Structure formats: C-alpha cells, structure tokens
Structure 1
Amino acid sequence: MGRPRTKNKHLPPRVYFKHGAYYYVDRAGQWHRLGANLPDAMAEWAKLVEAPVTATRMQSLFDRYMLEIAPRKAPRTYKDNKSEIKALRVFFGDMKPEDVEPRHVYEFLEIRGQTAPVRANRERALLSHVFTKAMQWGVLRYNPCRGVKRITERPRDRYIEDEELAAFMQSASPLLQAYCLYKYCTGRRQGEILATRLDQLKEDGIHYQQTAKQGKRVVIEWDDDLRLAVQMAKALPRPSNSEYLFCTRHGQPYSGDGFRSIWQRAMRKALAEGIIKERFTEHDIRAKAGTDADERGLDAHGLLAHARKTTTDIYIKRRKVQRVKPLNRQKPV
C-alpha cells in the first residue's frame, strides 16, 4: 500500500499535480499528462480509468461526483459544493444509495434547518443533483429528492439608502471606497470585480464575459463615476506589473475569503462608531444598483446580467418601496 497523501487529498488514486499540470501514473509506472486544469484533467482521468458503475455507499457516490462533475462548475459554485458536501457526508455517507428515501431527506432538512436553513436548501439541491447523476451512471433508478419541499426562506429585502452608503464609504479604507463605487456603477458580482483585469478596460467601456451564467458578453459604458472608480482603484498600492484592477500589494487578486474579512472588519467598525445603524453586505450594493437603475428607467436586467429577466424583476421587487398617495376628503359640492 502506498503512503497516504499529505497534500492534494481531493485527487483520485495515482493522480498527481506536478509542474503545473495533473498526471496519472499507471501500474507500470508510466506518467500520463491529464491537463493543466482540474476539470479537463478529471475528464481525461475518467477515460483512462473506468469509473465504478456501482456505489456501495453514498461516500463513494459523493467522491465520484466531486471528481467528475463539481470541478466543471464555476469556481465559486465548486468552492460552495466542497463545503456543502461535508454536511451531506456526515448525514448520508454511510448509507447505501438505494436505501435513501424522501423521509431521510426531510429528516436532514429538519435537523440542518434548525441552525442553517439557507445552507440546508443549497445542500438539498446538491444532493438532488448527485442523485440525478447517479441515475445517469446506472447506480439508481429514481431520485429520492424529487418532491421534497425546500425550507421556506425569508427573502432578503435590505435596501441601502444613499446616505448610508456615502457614510460607510467615507469611513472606509481607500480600497473599499473604490470597490463600493465600482460595484454600484457596474452592478458586478464580487467574484467578477476581484477578477477584473486591466486589459478589460477598453475605449468603449469595461468588457465582461458572463461565462459562469449564460456566456453573454457585456460592455459597461464609461461615465464620470465609473472613470473615477477605476482611477481610485489604480491609485491603490500596487506593483507596476499587476494585471488586475483590484490587487494585493503583491499584484495578485484578492481571494473571496480575504476580501470578505476586509469587508467584515470595516462593517464592524462602522457599526461600532455609529456611522451606520444597520449592517449590510457588499452584495446589497449590487441590489441597490439594480433597484436604482430601475427607478431611473434604465436597463436593470442588462446591468445585473441575470440569466432570466424574471430573476431581476423578483430581485428588484423585494427592495422597491411602493409609494401610495393618501385619500383626500371629498369637498362638498
């Protein structure tokens, strides 16, 4: 038996990451290059090594899904799946796939929903997709998640007032000042902003490719505030050879976890000093951008770049304040 791995424990047996690429070592000791990125490497690995058709336990089903399916998703979704699968392993891991019934899924939601109802719904969705793939692989004949209702979630309706955002930005670091203004102008998601490269800044605007959602290209046209936000971002401490608009002192993009830590520290400081009275997330700025765009008669759907317009409509409706005129007493004739 070979030595246990000390790193890259997520890789299947005989697969190694070396010199910037993934390799499979067969039993004869021959190295086969699989690819430079994990999704392509796992696809090649599946061709060389026939994946098991049957799964004696849910653990092995989860393993196959996380090797073959999850890496092909968007980076943020893949990261979320790696976290979500842990809770599923704890509850379902030792069960046989054919023994899982809808009542077990309901039991999982009831237990998990007591502490994390939103996460429980996401985990149920992942479990359902695992079972769908298991049907495709011939492991199961039906999906026990079918018909299992989600936990009712309270939709987020937080709207940031102009004065709140201005006050927070005034107290925040230059990094967050530039980020908040840029996010409000563009309506981009956090991952898109942190990954924005300088070569995306063109003469006609800032170019984005919506690869994770629907593959559509979006060009955000320049205006004075957007130019100011970019100038503020470029003025931050940075090495001259960095290719990213928002980068660390080493020229690399901020990680999602790293940036969330920066945001949380600034938010706690603003609340403690009484600068703002209610917490808001950086994602709430995106919601504010869409809501304000709709109020001004602009294309909120185009700005937020949702896959479906109905998503934008629901997104805005939650935060839109309905203004009603009072009923006046009728004057006697």
Structure 2
Amino acid sequence: MSSDRAEALRLWAQRECVREDDSTKLFSVVARRYVREIFPTKSVQTRKDNDKELANLLKLFTQMPIDAIAPMHVREYMDIRGQTAKVRANREKALLSHIFNKAREWGYTALQNPCQGVKGFKETGRSRYITDAEFDQVKAQAHFTVIDAMDLALLTGQRPADVLKLKRTDIRDGALWIVQNKTGQRLGVEITGEQAAVIARINERPRQAISAYLIQDENGQPLTQCALRSRFDKARTLAKVDFQFRDIRAKAATDTGDLAHSQMLLGHKNCEMTEHYVKTRTGARVKPLR
C-alpha cells in the first residue's frame, strides 16, 4: 500500500472494481469509480480530505443502491454527524453530492441529487488574529524547523502545505516562486528585506545533509505536515498560546495594512475576498459619533 492514503485508496479502487458487478449500482461501486477517475484530477490536499470524507460516507451508504439514497437519508446522516462534527458533515455532504452528480453523468441513475434541498450547518469563519508577541512566544519554544516554517508562512502569506513544499529551485530571478495547491495560482514573492534574511539563515544553517526543500531537519529530511503539526502544537502548548498555524496566513494579510498588497500576496481573485478575510480578524475601524 502507498504511504499516501488517498493514493492507496485509488489503488484499492482499481483492484476492487473488477470484483463487483457495476450493474448492482451500489454506492460503493460508484465511489470506487469516483476514486479511480476523479481523485487523480484533484490536488494532493483535496484528495487527502476526500479520503477521510469518503471513509465516513461508506460507513452508511456502502451497500445502498445509488437510486435508493433519498434526501431523508442525507438528512439523517447530517444529523448524526452534526452531533460531533458539523463542519466535517458539510464537507462530506458536498462530496456525496459530487459523487451523485457523477453517477448521473455515468448513467448509474437518472434521479435528482438527494443532497439538493438538504440544509447544511452554519459555519463561522475564523476570526483569530495573532499578535506579534504571541507569534514570538511560540517561536521561542519551537524547533528550528517550525521557526523556519512560521517565518516563511508569515512573510509569504501562504498556506502550510504550500510553505512546506518550497524548494531551493523555486528561488529564481530574485523571487520565491509559489504555485498554490488549492487554486493553482502562481506568484513570485520578492526576496528582499526580512525574507532575504530568513532564506539566508536557512541556507547557512549547518546540517549533516541537504535536500532540495527549504524547510528540512538536520538530516536533510523535508518537514512533513504531520511533523509540523506535532512540533507546532508542542511549542504552542509550552508558550500557552492558542492560535493555529493556518492563522498565520491571516496575520500576513492583516499586517500589510494594504488590501491590494494583501490580495496579491494571498493570491485572492478579488479584493472583496481579502477585505472580508482581514475584517473578520481586526474588525471594521469606524469614527465616533462626535
């Protein structure tokens, strides 16, 4: 089995698809085809998320014919999952909806999507703003790989997965070039000022081995998302600060003080998206009555 669970699931689907007659039109049959044909078109992170979501969907719908899945079943699923994981329930319903739409395209069913009209749970966006003091407190307790990741995440405004995949070859023409996993957006962040100092610090650090990745341990091994999460959580606990690593991206957007700059740095398609992103952290600044 591949170490990548999403890839392992795809390989499983390739093997299992020949063991079950497609004429049964079970949800599991459609799910296997979805994994086989649609998963490879998605980003690595999306595949990993869908892997977990599909595992939960299969617990209930595996042996149900696709035509038998009705809105009442989706509602029941949402109510059960919503007791412990409302946001995950919403994501799982979205995946179920997409699988059902594909089932319609592939001829497994002609029925209306059962997810249509089934209300999801209300979600509230994160509003956590990291102060400079909190940021420094966590860094003071962190492993050097986490410090490198935190600094690059703040200076580039990128998501954790995009920061961890940065390579030395991404440094070209005076910029650090990034292709965002989520959007495919390509941007070059100029290597000047503090960012130049951080990259120089990373390159000059003594190591037993050097790999292609900017963020790596003393043995030249790239920092994985699992290792980042574990080491960051440890530093956060020691510092007694409760922000999440992903909140660093919002701090980058907020601290520029310039919406146009923030929009370009984060790779947002429009300024309204960036403005909402920033205001949920800092609030709107208004004049007094008098």
| TM-score, length of structure 2 as denominator length | 0.88
In the alignment, what sits opposite 2:174?
Answer: 204
Pairing of 1:1-333 with structure 2 (within 5 A): 10-12=10-12, 54-141=23-110, 142-210=112-180, 212-213=182-183, 215-236=184-205, 238-271=207-240, 276=241, 279-293=242-256, 295-296=257-258, 298-328=260-290
Q: CA deviation at 1:232?
A: 3.0
The structure that is helix-richer by fraction is 2
Aligned residues of 1:174 and 1:236 also touching (Cα < 8 A)? no
Q: CA deviation at 1:58?
A: 1.1
In 2: Cα distance, 1:245 partner to 1:55 partner:
50
Aligned residues of 2:161 and 2:181 also touching (Cα < 8 A)? no
Closer, same or farther: CA 310–324 of 1 in aligned 2, 3 Å: closer
The structure with higher relative contact order (CA 8 Å, sep 6+) is 2
SS at match of 2:201: helix
Q: CA deviation at 1:122?
A: 0.8
Closer, same or farther: CA 210–176 of 1 in aligned 2, 3 Å: closer
Aligned residues of 2:82 and 2:89 also touching (Cα < 8 A)? yes
Q: Unmatched 5+ residue regions in structure 1?
A: 16-45, 329-333
Render the CA deviation track for 1:298-321: whole Å, top value 9, x for unaligned.
521111113454432332221122
Q: Unmatched 5+ residue regions in structure 2?
A: none
Render the CA deviation track for 1:278-332: whole Å, top value 9, x for unaligned.
x001100001111222x2455211111134544323322211222334344xxxx
Q: CA deviation at 1:188?
A: 1.0
Report the structure number with the largest CA radius of gyration: 1
In 1: Cα distance, 2:195 partner to 2:288 partner:
39
In the alignment, what sits opposite 1:41?
Answer: none
Task: Provide the alpha-carbon RMSD of the alignment.
Answer: 2.6
| TM-score, length of structure 1 as denominator length | 0.77
When structure 1 is superposed on structure 2, of 56-65 and 128-137 the one drifting more is 56-65
Q: CA deviation at 1:222?
A: 2.0
In the alignment, what sits opposite 1:26?
Answer: none
SS at match of 1:155: coil
Q: CA deviation at 1:254?
A: 2.0
Matched letter for residue 311 of structure 1: M
Matched letter for residue 300 of structure 1: S
Matched letter for residue 43 of structure 2: A
Aligned residues of 1:187 and 1:303 also touching (Cα < 8 A)? yes
In 1: Cα distance, 2:270 partner to 2:98 partner:
21
Aligned length: 283
Q: Percent same amino acid among aligned pairs?
A: 34
Closer, same or farther: CA 14–96 of 1 in aligned 2, 3 Å: closer
Closer, same or farther: CA 240–257 of 1 in aligned 2, 3 Å: closer
Aligned residues of 1:55 and 1:139 also touching (Cα < 8 A)? no
In 2: Cα distance, 1:225 partner to 1:232 partner:
10
In 2: Cα distance, 1:260 partner to 1:55 partner:
42
Q: CA deviation at 1:269?
A: 1.5
